Structure 1
Amino acid sequence: MAPPLLSALIGRLRFKHLRLVDALARGGNLHRVAAEMHMTQPAASKILKDAELILGAPLFERRPRGMVPTEIGGFAADYAARMLRAAESFTDGMDNLKAGGFGALSIGAIMATTPGLLPRAIAELKQRRPLMTIRLLAATSDILLAALSRDEIALAVGRLTQPEDALAFHIEPLASEELWIFAAADHPLARRPAITLGETARLAWVLQPKGSPMRRLLDRTFAEQGVGSLDNCVETTSIFATLHLVREAGMIACLPKSILVEGVTSGTFSRLPIELTHDLGPLGIITRRGETPSANAADFIDVLRTMRTLPPSLA
């Protein structure tokens, strides 16, 4: 026999309840949320009361600046967001299948995979399933893991960022990455045969945001060498912006060899003679623990496995 709450969810909870809880958790203003959902405020209030009655607990607290989720409300809002994303993915995939396609697949990847592994893998997958819709989120590993935990993507090509990540995610290693610290070819440090890390601390850097694996590695390395924090910096997740700021604004940065090798070979950039004492850990296929991948996700994983030795820069 199903538990009472599960019976209530199956029998009474509707998408209108999920939409309202999700929107209210993000917006906090019942009047504005009602307008977004094209209904009156009393109607929105009734839907909220219905949801609270079904779940048996208050979901929001009214405060002077809007409505704030209770602890239970925040938990319910996370569930509502996941269910709405799943419904959107389902309808997109259904439309694609009815049109003769292969459904849809949402994946995430760190930017270091974009010069080699990822484009080849996507090209191969499109050969196998030409009408499948692929959605790609390119971001740092911490952002990808958050998206994976929210079911926004089916899998990620990246790395775990904390030891406790292994409790929620499984990683199948694909390759290791070598990191290079670099500058523009005409940067004053580019002509130096030897450079200490401390000498670069006073200069302008382009860094990934705090929390990303590469930023944490650099902060740790600077701290271990007694240099302190890098305060003169621009933070961005964009490789395109990083390369332009290094080339045109005279900044220093750190990126994987796979991204830089062509620019260094052509003379656009110069690898600085600084060795990092730590690495980022393996790059791999990350999935949620205890979950069987969909057919599309399993096919993409198979493609990645067969190509793991192909890109020399990532091998």
Structure 2
Amino acid sequence: MLKNATFRQLAAFHAVSRLGSVSRAASELHLTQPAVSIQLKLLEESAGAPLLEKNGRGVRLTAAGELMAGYAARILELWREAGDEMAAQRGLFSGTLRVGAVTTAEYLLPPLLVAFAGQHPEVKVKLQVGNRDEIVRMLATQEVDIAIMGRPPAELKTTAVAFAKHPMAFLASPEHPLMKQRRPALADLVEANLLARERGSGTRTTLERLYKEAGVPLRIGSEMSSNEAIKHMCAAGFGVAFLSLHTCALELQAGLLAVLPMAGNPLQRDWYAMHLASRRLPQVTSAFKQFLADEGQGLIDAQLRRLAPAAKRRGAARRGN
């Protein structure tokens, strides 16, 4: 049994089992759908049992498929580890850094990835961005090796390290009536058309937890799936927003947005880098995790300092017009 199975067949099956779709697996593997289907058929013939069955427009694992999926993941991971170790034996530091990041983190990750890649030019970077639920799923299915988000997921056993501060705040246009109040409270935002991210995002989860802990009913005025949309609507005076300050450094420095003068605003949270506790990290991922712990906060601070002068010049020019 399985004496004729190949790594190509296992890779095709592993991709389909993770993604639930032959077409999505073909896209990830840069193959045609017929090519993936052929590999799946050959593996099923070698296994002597059907591994997949149709499920609407996608596919799902059979009982035999569930068993095979676990072994396929372990075999492919072990083979990748072997490749990393052999490269290390030759004095090479290479591989693919597979990072998943919540949408808010895409504002702070580029300088970190650029700096890391600059230190290790043989490393390739694969970055996937999504809301919190999507990144947790990618981590669980091993589509990414390390995830960047504001809070470790309770639904997965992970090893996490905090590598930078994450300020979050209620924001408004400088001309918003609430900016003139001495100390607005959470209850005052109920009638202010509170702009919030969609359910499943880390920012939304933090907002819901904040109101729950304060014992104040949360009423969302407008829900949006884009930080950019929220920023623009808030700057136009459409309502009050709750956002990570990393997403709106330019708007704050240019005077388009301002932090509401509320007690405890902004909030200080942390950015975490995390991976599955049960997995041995690839060499390149382990190095990136250490890099974030050692240099993450300093690089983020430096990026903000570089942005400040340019934002002030744009703000001055706008006021001059």
- TM class by shorter-chain length? 0.5 to 0.7
Matched with 1:144 is: 135
Q: In the alignment, residue 211 of structure 2 is paired with which amino acid? A: F
Which of 20, 28, 53 aligns to 1:26? It is 20
Deviations 1:219-248, CA, capped at 9 Å, x for gaps: 133334454343432231x33233223224
The yes-or-no answer on 1:232 pairing with 2:227 is: no
CA distance in 1, matches of 2:93, 2:152: 36
Deviation at 1:52, TM superposition (A): 6.0
Q: Give the match for residue 313 of structure 2.
A: none
Instruction: Give the conservation status (yes or no) of the 8 Å contact 1:109–1:144.
Output: yes
Distance 2:47 2:237 in 1: 55
Contact 2:167 2:266 in 1 (8 A): no
Partners in 2 of 1:64 and 1:247 — Cα distance?
Answer: 44
Q: Which residue of 2 aligns with 1:50?
A: 45
Secondary structure of the corresponding residue to residue 128 of structure 2: strand
**Counterpart AA for 1:214:** T
Q: Distance in 2 between matches of 1:139 and 1:173?
A: 20
Greater displacement, 58-67 / 286-295: 58-67
Within 2, Cα distance between the matches of 1:174 and 1:78?
32
Which amino acid letter does the alignment assign opposite residue 120 of structure 1? Answer: P
Deviation at 1:253, TM superposition (A): 1.8
Encode CA deviations 1:162-189: one digit per residue, 9 max, x unaligned: 4453xx3111221332221112223333
1:301 alignment partner in structure 2: 289
Tell me how far 1:267 sits from its aligned partner: 1.3
2:148 maps to amino acid: V
Identity in percent: 19
Q: State yes or no: 1:191 paired with 2:183.
A: no
Give unpaired runs (5+ residues) of structure 1: 1-7, 30-34, 92-99
**AA matched with 2:45:** D
Q: Which residue of 1 aligns with 2:257?
A: 269
> What is the rounded CA distance, in whole Å, between the counterparts of 1:269 and 1:211 in structure 2?
25
Aligned equivalent of 1:214:
203
CA change 1:69–1:297 in 2 (3 A) is closer
Supply the distance in 1 between the matched residues of 2:14 and 2:286 (Cα, whole angstroms). 33
2:275 to 287, 291, 298: 287
Output the TM-score relative to the length of structure 2.
0.67
CA contact (8 A) 1:205 1:233 kept: yes
Which of 34, 38, 42 is the matching residue for 1:37? 34
The runs of 5 or more residues in structure 2 that have no matched partner are 24-31, 84-91, 305-321
SS in 2 for 1:298: helix
Determine the structure 2 residue equivalent to 1:178: 167
Letter in 2 for 1:50: E
> Aligned in 2, Cα 1:161/1:302: closer, same or farther, shift over 3 Å?
closer
Count of equivalent residues: 285
Q: How does 1:55-94 map to 2 (within 5 A)?
A: 59-60=51-52, 69-70=61-62, 73=65, 76=68
Any idea what SS the aligned residue of 1:37 has? Answer: helix
Residues 152 and 274, structure 2, Cα contact 8 Å, conserved in 1: no
- Could you tell me which amino acid in structure 1 is paired with residue 34 of structure 2? M
